[in-house]
Amino acid sequence: MGHATKYIFVTGGVSSSLGKGIISASLAKLLQARGMRVTIQKLDPYINIDPGTLNPYEHGECYVTGDGAETDLDLGHYERFLNVSTSQANNITTGRIYQSVINKERRGEYLGRTVQIIPHITDEIKRSVRILGESGEYDFVITEIGGTVGDIESLPYVEAVRQMRWENPKDTLAIHLTLVPFLKAAGELKTKPTQHSVKQLLELGVQPDILVCRTEYELNNGIRSKVARFCNVDQNAVIESIDADTIYDVPLLMRKERLDEVVLDKLNVLDVEPPDLDRWADFLKRLKNPKSTTTIGLVGKYVELKDSYKSISEALIHAGAECENKVDVRWIHSESITPATVNEKLAGLDGILVAPGFGSRGIDGKIESIRVAREQGIPFLGICLGMQCAVIEYARNVMGLSTAHSTEIKDYTDDPVIDLMEEQKSIANMGGTMRLGNYPCSLAKGSTASAAYGTQDIIERHRHRYEFNDTYRERFELAGLRATGINPESGLVEVIEAVEHPWFVGAQFHPEYKSTVLNPHPLFVAFVEATKVHAAARSGASTGATSASQN
């Protein structure tokens, strides 16, 4: 691009859950489509060092990067939109900021001075932002500030933005996302909450350059000019963000609102190519014009909060578009599945996906669903804990090891078919101590997995402590559960497949983290294809039955 890295800050006001992550990712997509090198970063104001220790009910899924960072689920959106990997540097929390300031204090790096929020904490925040810019890899660093302006805990972040704007006004830009609610009784869109939110930002010394307004209805010129006048922004910098059918529509909606043009103009970035969004538009076309529909049951214990399985549900959307097949996800609570309910709960499914997880809650329901998938030839994908449950199910119901279990769930069992890794046994700390991030895996020739990937050498992301217990491997293989993916360095089993089944794959890793719009994950694509075959066979069988009964 030939100029200094530009820093774009995205804050949110009025309400949480307005979709800052999607707006940031969409803007990044538009800039990337113009040939720019872009990365996105999330600053989270909570005190946890990372979301790895958080219950998914708190903030949804924990997203794992290739370098093994446990991060906010927004990083998943960034990767899915941009098709570019993120890393630890892309997600910073208050806990991490304080941890590094306190470590420096202990090392004596502050030379006896009083350590304070300003300048020490704000300097550390600014350092975390600039690290990405100074890598020389990016033309734009988009930094999303978590939380809502006005929260006590986000104050140091807004202060850091103020300082960076002051130090370098030409290369920084502030975008504020707000809500313009529609009041039914008045029959009107209301701009007052936006005005208040901008006032609050102004009190903190930040004048937004661009306002992105979430709304259920179109913003007319009257509303736009009112917002512009009261909030000191240009009218063309009042951007409508209307509710969309899918998050993947948002880049095109932002393009229509010329968000990218306004950003480039304000940052004085000239001579830029027009965006090339052909492949993106092609994905949307396939997504919106499916030729078939299949139903996949997602069995997990956090299904009340769908964000807990964000990467999985998005990977199913990408794979569905690739297969020109709409995937209807039936969310099934693993605790609701018992031998008495299982047939009714899983009736009519074309595929069963058993989700990752920790702890004993809902385990029996997961194992029971896998039994049905295996016995009835329903395509099955087990991820991490889902794979481990498949191993337990096979041991118990096919190999007759009736007390087989994982030592995560039961300390002492005659047959610990899933057991703690040796190097995990001495670890006491919970945070950041699992087997995390990228590991290589070699797939067996002729396996379902290698057919799906079209190669035998893969790298996938991990997040677990427990493992397939290798001492049982031969017995499993003799009984028809084959270890088809092995870590070439450690020999750990990463993939298992039931030989006598049309499509039964368990993966110790998490394929969902690597699925993107432009690179749907091969394992998910093959799984969705298998559900299509299953659905076709089912409807064939039922037509067959109808004609038979007519005879």
Per CB under 6 A, residues contacting ligand GLN are 356-358, 384-385, 408, 463-466
Beta strands in 56-180 (DSSP E): 63-64, 70-71, 91-93, 140-145, 172-179
Cα–Cα distance measured from residue 447 to residue 456, given in angstroms and rounded to the nearest whole number? 9
Rg (CA), the chain: 25
Alpha carbon 87 to chain centroid, angstroms: 13
Strand order in the sheet with 172-179: 91-93, 38-44, 140-145, 6-12, 172-179, 210-215, 238-242
**Which residue, 345 or 461, has its beta carbon nearer to ligand GLN?**
461
Q: Evaluate whether 92 touches 342 at the Cβ level (below 8 Å).
A: no
To ligand GLN, the closest distance from the beta carbon of 330 in angstroms equals: 20
Query: Among residues 275 and 356, whose Cβ is nearest to ligand GLN?
Result: 356
By beta-carbon proximity to ligand GLN, the closer residue of 177 and 434 is 434
Please report how close the Cβ of residue 463 comes to ligand GLN at its closest, in angstroms: 5
Q: How far is the CB of 424 from ligand GLN (least distance, A)?
A: 9
SS (H, E, C) 75-90: HHHHHHHHCCCCCHHH
Q: How far is the CB of 358 from ligand GLN (least distance, A)?
A: 4
Q: Smallest distance from the beta carbon of 132 to ligand GLN, in angstroms?
A: 28
Strand partners, 496: 483, 506
Smallest gap from residue 521 Cβ to ligand GLN (A): 17
Q: Which residues contact 193 (CB under 8 A, 6 or more apart)?
A: 13, 14, 178, 179, 180, 181
State the catalytic residue, choosing from 510, 521, 529, 534.
Answer: 510
**Rounded to the nearest whole angstrom, what is the least distance from the CB of residue 61 to ligand GLN in the complex?**
10
Which letter, b or e, does each residue of 6-31 get, where b requires 16 or more Cβ atoms within 10 Å of its Cβ? Answer: bbbbbbbbbeeebbbbbbbbbbbbbb
Q: Compare residues 61 and 497 and give the one whose CB is closer to ligand GLN.
A: 61
> Which residues partner with 458 through β-bridges?
441
End-to-end CA distance of the chain: give it in Å, rounded: 73
CB nearer to ligand GLN: give 463 or 482: 463
Taking the complex as a whole, how short is the minimal distance between the CB of residue 389 and ligand GLN, in angstroms? 9
Alpha helices in 323-424 (DSSP H): 342-345, 363-375, 385-397
Kindly tell me the sign of the dihedral angle through the C-alpha atoms of 283, 308, 459, 366. Answer: negative
> 501 an active-site residue?
no
How far, in Å, CA of 386 to CA of 297, rounded? 13
- 308 vs 450 by CB, closer to ligand GLN: 308
CB nearer ligand GLN, residue 40 or residue 496: 496
Q: Which is it for strands 504-507 and 380-383: parallel, antiparallel or unpaired? A: parallel
Q: Which residue has the tokens 């209307």?
A: 242
Catalytic residue status for 510: yes
With beta carbons less than 8 A apart as the criterion, state whether 493 and 452 touch: no
Q: Which of 213, 231, 323, 384 is an active site residue? A: 384
Q: How far, in whole angstroms, is CA 544 from its chain's centroid? A: 42
Q: In terms of residues, how long is the chain?
A: 551
Q: Which of 61, 240, 322, 512 is catalytic?
A: 512
At 36 the three-state DSSP class reads coil
- Nearer to ligand GLN among residue 19 and residue 297 (C-beta): 297
Catalytic residues: 384, 510, 512
